[in-house]
Amino acid sequence: MHSRDSISSKCKIHKISEVSKEKLSPFYKKLYPERYKSLTENWNWWYRVNKDFAEPIILSLDGKVIGQAAFLVNNLIVSNKKIPAIWFQDYAVLPEFMGTGLGKLLTKEWMKVCPNQMAMCSPYSLRVLKKFGWIDNFETKRLVRPINYFKFVPFANKLNLNLFNSALRFFLKKRYAENDNIKPYNLSENFKIISDSFNLKKMPENNKDYAIINRDESWLNWRLMECPYKKDIYFFEYQNSFSIVHIYSVKKIKRLNILYTYSTDNSEEKKIYKLITNWAINNDIDFVWAISKRKDLKNIFPKVYYRPLRYASWSSDSSIFNILKKGFLDLQGIDSDIESGFYVE
């Protein structure tokens, strides 16, 4: 066991740029084994580091990295004004140092960084944040449409269930059948189309009552064109709607994650979700995933698979805090580390 006093007196706090890759790598490998190489090499991208603003905080003991409080700079628009904000993410201490007060130490340090903060929390981080006055909101849901159910049943992989799987796909094809068809386009080859679409999109209604995530041109280039897995990002178009998706395989499961969707009305948004799911069923995708606050998508994404996102927020300004704690009307999978945290090398 480590005593609180002995640990806190010996710990040092650094900016992430002050710590070598050789020291970061063992920490990331232990805490984030499925993406530690990318974190070590690309932490500038993962945390959208702006050295003129602030950098993620690293905690070391005797030259060894033992903790981190990272964040992602992402301005918001509140009451039609742009304000600085950060998404708090990848907050952790090594298991052997849990319970020594280092979590609170890190939290105190990064809460000095910016007056407006949000996070998608683990149960552990949410408990810590609520002690510092953060408010949670579980209104946004993670939605799932399993297609190949048997991929998610451990014993099923040992059985020959091709006949059952074919029958299930046949049923789903009939259920999601559409007269219209869409296909995915590669991101890198068509980025200008996406950029133009973003520039043309309208602001959400009720924008004075909610904060809006500022997805400007700089943000778009960072999130998509500089993304280490951009070769796996595609987009679909249908009439006045478009969706950006991430298609990849992990642990023999082929996933389609809907990162971002824009449409001019609710019926078009439902339509493009259904068209994407129809395409997925016909192209050997096992799993479709999305994020939404809407309550009328259960015919596409079965309600039994809905899971709430643990969103939490804090602001030193009470009027901004009252807006942030409502959550966002337009929170999507592309924001914060909601989807990127699933990345597997």
Q: What is the pLDDT of residue 296?
A: 92
CA distances from 188 to 129, 195, 328 (A): 38, 11, 29
- Taking the CA atoms of residue 342, residue 334, residue 331 and residue 212 in that order, the dihedral angle to the nearest 10 degrees is 140
Q: Are residues 153 and 273 in the same domain?
A: yes
Q: What is the pLDDT of residue 263?
A: 87
Question: Across the chain, what does the average pLDDT equal?
Answer: 89
Identity of the amino acid at 219: W
Among 134, 154, 173, residue at a domain's last position: 134
Q: Are residues 178 and 291 in the same domain?
A: yes
Per-residue confidence band for 173, with pLDDT thresholds at 50, 70 and 90 = confident
Q: Are residues 182 and 47 in the same domain?
A: no
Q: Are residues 168 and 72 in the same domain?
A: no
Q: pTM for this structure?
A: 0.90
Residues 250-280 pLDDT 10s: 888 899 999 999 988 888 999 999 999 999 9
Residue 328 lies in a domain: no
Q: Are residues 166 and 54 in the same domain?
A: no
Q: Which of 129-143, 158-172, 296-310 has the lowest mean pLDDT?
A: 158-172
* DSSP-based three-state secondary structure for 50: strand
* 203 CB-contact burial (10 Å; exposed 0-12 / middle 13-18 / buried 19+): exposed
Q: Are residues 172 and 214 in the same domain?
A: yes
Per-residue confidence band for 98, with pLDDT thresholds at 50, 70 and 90 = confident
Per-residue confidence band for 175, with pLDDT thresholds at 50, 70 and 90 = confident
Q: Are residues 105 and 196 in the same domain?
A: no
Buried-state track 142-180, b at ≥16 Cβ within 10 A, e below 16: bbbbbbbebbeeeeeeeeebeeebeebeeebeeebeeee
Structural domain count, the chain: 2
Q: Are residues 130 and 36 in the same domain?
A: yes
Q: Give percent above pLDDT 70 in the chain.
A: 92
Among 276, 292, 308, residue at a domain's last position: 308
Identity of the amino acid at 232: D
Q: Are residues 182 and 303 in the same domain?
A: yes
Tell me the H-state helices in the chain. 4-10, 21-31, 36-46, 102-110, 123-130, 162-175, 191-200, 217-220, 266-281, 318-324
**Region 15-41 average pLDDT:** 95
Q: Which of 77-91, 104-118, 141-155 has the lowest mean pLDDT?
A: 141-155
Q: Which of 168-182, 254-268, 307-321 has the lowest mean pLDDT?
A: 168-182
Asked if residues 215 and 198 have their Cβ atoms less than 8 Å apart, the reply is yes
Q: Are residues 116 and 154 in the same domain?
A: no
Q: Domain range spanning residue 43?
A: 4-134
Residue 345 lies in a domain: no
Q: Are residues 77 and 185 in the same domain?
A: no
Asked if residues 143 and 306 have their Cβ atoms less than 8 Å apart, the reply is yes
